[in-house]
Amino acid sequence: MPREFSRNQRLGNEVLRALSELLRSETKDPSLRDLSLTSVDLSRDLSVARIYVSLLDPEGDPAPVLKGLERASGFLRSKLGRAIKIRHVPELRFVHDDSAEQAVKIGRLIDLAVANDKSHTADDN
């Protein structure tokens, strides 16, 4: 019987949970306050974790947040090693997840299209 989740997915979820908690409670950098970790992709050999980061302000600049995360990656990795019991803690690589920004843009386009449809149907009557 196949497993519901692979080891990568289970470990990825554990890394995501632990890193979210560490960012909330252990970091003092103010640039790391207004972010959310959205997902974690682990390499097949579990040596690299690509962590996707979303800003709470979709219009904000992700560069200072990513730089702050890179500065804190060694600290976070060491704390992560204590939080989850694995032999080798993966290297942490942070990537900006712009899906919230894309959702806002698509929402605006939909609103614009609906408004155009309403104005065209009002002109036709």
Nearest CA among 63, 12, 4 for reference residue 39: 12
Measure the CA–CA gap between 24 and 7, rounded to whole angstroms. Answer: 26
Dihedral, 67, 17, 12, 56 alpha carbons, nearest 10? -50
Q: Where are the alpha helices (DSSP H) in the chain?
A: 7-25, 62-83, 99-124
Is the pLDDT at 24 greater than 80, yes or no? yes
What is the pLDDT, as a whole number, of residue 1?
A: 43
State what percent of residues in the chain have pLDDT above 70: 93
Measure the CA–CA gap between 112 and 86, rounded to whole angstroms. Answer: 50
Contact 55, 100 (CB under 8 A): yes
Q: What are the domain boundaries of the chain?
A: 7-98
pLDDT, tens only, 48-104 = 999 999 988 877 888 999 999 999 999 999 999 999 888 889 999 999 988 877 888
Domain 7-98: assigned CATH number = 3.30.300.20
The per-residue pLDDT of the chain, averaged, comes to 87
